Amino acid sequence: MRLFFLPNLLVALSAAAQPVAPDTTLPEVTVTAARLALAPREAPARVTVLTAEAFAAAGAATVADVLERRAPLFVRRYGPGGLATVSLRGAGSAQTLVLLDGARLADPQLGPPDLALLPTVLLDAAEVLHGAGSALHGTDALGGVLHLRTLAAGTAGWRLETEAGAWGHRRLSGVASGQAGPLALVAAAEGLRTDGDFLFRDRSLIGEPLVRREGIDQRRASAFAAAGYARGPLDLRASLLLADAERGLGGTDSVGARQWDRLARTWLDARHTARWGGVEVRAAVHRGRLRYASPYPPTRPDALDETSHTTTATLDLQTTLTTLPGWHLTGAAWVGLAHAEHPSLSEEAADRHAALALSAARTTGRLRLFPALRLDRYAPAGAARRLALSPLLGANLHLRESLHLKASAGRAFRMPTLNDRFWQPGGNAALRPERGWTVDLGLAWSSASLRAEVSAFAARARDQIVWRPTPAGYWAPENLVRTRTLGLEATAEATLPLGPRRALDAGFAAALTDARDRSDPSAPAYGQPLRYVPRWTLSAWTGLALGGLRLDLHARAAARRFTTADASQSLPPYLILDGQARYTRAVGGVRATLGVVFENLTGLQYEVIPSYVMPPRHLRVRLLLQSR
């Protein structure tokens, strides 16, 4: 429900891909599981890589769309235009770290970003690291890491896309990129408006009448520009992003709430490459503003209308050594400041943070080891300083030509947010960091036409922060929950050529998760499944290319989600079918694609989270024009 993360949407244009051709991508590479570029099968842990081609085939307009259709995880959706967050291996949204080109997206006051507001039009790929990631990336990575990679500047070209659909949905986006000698430029913009007032059957009323959703309209706009300079061993990149959004959070005009987000971010990335390795420095400054009003208009005496400001500044230094035979060594140092101003926060709501990290890759024959160690030091205002030591050991054994065995074990942690410590009333400055361990083992198979991977994992976490009501009538956070999680993840993709410009492809991504409360043996919740963690999730897809025509079908399903700690109440399972048809034709120097996206083909009324009804059957029409 926030837009604080949007400035990071194009944090450093370092991804290698054509900026204007979504169906032209380089081979899949991950940099999230280790501090060097690897094919996913060569990584020490499971990494799911989704390219721009997958975005287009899924008909995805946001990161949340593509993740729930192509990755073995669960996306928690609070309605079609509401908050969308990721749940990895039973961990909550706050326990999954989100990065963009290596930079953290979490808001220091509120925590995890809203993936429903991250458009895919400006992204080249999304990487999902499953399991503990704090040894490489710091706080919040108990369940895993979602790393978004943006488009690269340089190749001359342009792209313009417009979309219209049900309930007043309208979207327009454009990207242009070019290069003049060592100078590369890219500019991008997107605007969206939607009313979102669809009809649904209200099962809480007698007779279950059809009613119209109200107060959930949305408007957002963002503009981005970046310039890169590369000559010899030096690579410089400067970027700027401005964004603005307004959203209704539900209800009628008299009782509904609204939220406004504005932000500005600028950052500089410098990289020097040498024969012995290289040095990289990244500096960023971000200023965000969020206004929340409930009800809106604020006419009642108890109306709430508050505005918060968030400032973050970071400096990151990384040195890589590659001249030692069989070794790849990386040392990193990081310092940061996060500050929030809000009527319900203490004036001293500021965090200071420093970290030192060392990671390596050691190759011996068919075996490659990936040890890593990171020490984080936090100096939160009004609380004792905290140290967090995060070790990780991963291994990848090349068993045969196409088969790899993966194994890893690591520790992760999550620091309390500024809201957790300073919200008035209720903030608890003495909160301890959440901590956990993850162990996993997997097999990955890869060939020219088939890729498959299966992973088994076990995880334990303690001191999870939970907000509970107090006798004084307000809510306050405590370190309460201990959890144990066991599970399996499986993915497979295959392509069958049918002739010139003809092919059939199919795949699936499934996760089986048994996440249980292990906090208090005397409590009714002990031994029960965690709330909002489905026992299983499944997504499957198939696509048929017939020359310029492309047909895609997606299925996504989730088991029931318990809504109470004692597992006495739950939401039913659901199975949703989505489809897409696209036709592409070149006209002169322009390639045009006309597409129709069909969502919820069966018209099922369902809720991912209680009281947030998802839309019925509907369609969107897209027109994409791009340079050839």
Whole-number Å distance between alpha carbons of 491 and 248: 37
Would you say residue 343 has pLDDT above 80? yes
Please return the burial class of 482, using the count of CB atoms within 10 Å of its CB with bins 0-12, 13-18 and 19+. middle
Please return the burial class of 400, using the count of CB atoms within 10 Å of its CB with bins 0-12, 13-18 and 19+. exposed
Would you state the pLDDT for residue 294? 85
- Mean pLDDT for all residues in the chain: 87
| Percent of the chain predicted with pLDDT > 90 | 53
Would you state the pLDDT for residue 254? 56
- Of residues 401 and 551, the one with the higher pLDDT is 551
Would you say residue 8 has pLDDT above 70? no
Question: What does the pLDDT average to over 130-145?
Answer: 93
Confidence class for position 252, pLDDT limits 50, 70, 90: low
| Three-class DSSP category at 501 | coil
Whole-number Å distance between alpha carbons of 174 and 187: 8
Confidence class for position 162, pLDDT limits 50, 70, 90: very high
Q: Choose among 159, 161, 188, 187: nearest CA to 172.
A: 161
For the four alpha carbons of 72, 78, 81 and 82, in that order, the dihedral sign comes to negative
Would you say residue 351 has pLDDT above 60? yes
Q: Choose among 126, 113, 237, 120: nearest CA to 190.
A: 120
Would you say residue 121 has pLDDT above 80? no
Chain segment 224-241, per-residue pLDDT in tens: 888 889 999 999 988 888
Question: What does the pLDDT average to over 170-174?
Answer: 94
The pTM (predicted TM-score) of the whole model is 0.90
Would you state the pLDDT for residue 1? 34
Would you state the pLDDT for residue 9? 34
Chain segment 579-627, per-residue pLDDT in tens: 999 999 998 889 999 999 999 999 999 999 998 899 999 999 999 999 9
Confidence class for position 546, pLDDT limits 50, 70, 90: very high
Would you state the pLDDT for residue 469? 77
Confidence class for position 348, pLDDT limits 50, 70, 90: low
| Percent of the chain predicted with pLDDT > 70 | 94
Which of 13-17, 127-131, 252-256, 275-279 is least confident? 13-17
Would you say residue 498 has pLDDT above 60? yes
Would you say residue 194 has pLDDT above 90? yes
Question: What does the pLDDT average to over 547-571?
Answer: 94
Would you say residue 478 has pLDDT above 90? no
| Three-class DSSP category at 70 | helix
Would you say residue 335 has pLDDT above 90? yes
Q: Choose among 495, 509, 388: nearest CA to 48.
A: 509
- Cβ pair 470, 464 in contact under 8 A: no
Confidence class for position 10, pLDDT limits 50, 70, 90: very low
Would you say residue 16 has pLDDT above 80? no
Helices (H) and strands (E) in the chain, counts: 4, 33
Question: What does the pLDDT average to over 547-568?
Answer: 94
Would you say residue 11 has pLDDT above 60? no
Confidence class for position 27, pLDDT limits 50, 70, 90: low
Query: Tokens 């327009």 map to which residue?
Result: 172
- Of residues 429 and 38, the one with the higher pLDDT is 38
**Share of the chain residues as helix, strand and coil, in percent rounded to the nearest 5:** 5, 60, 35
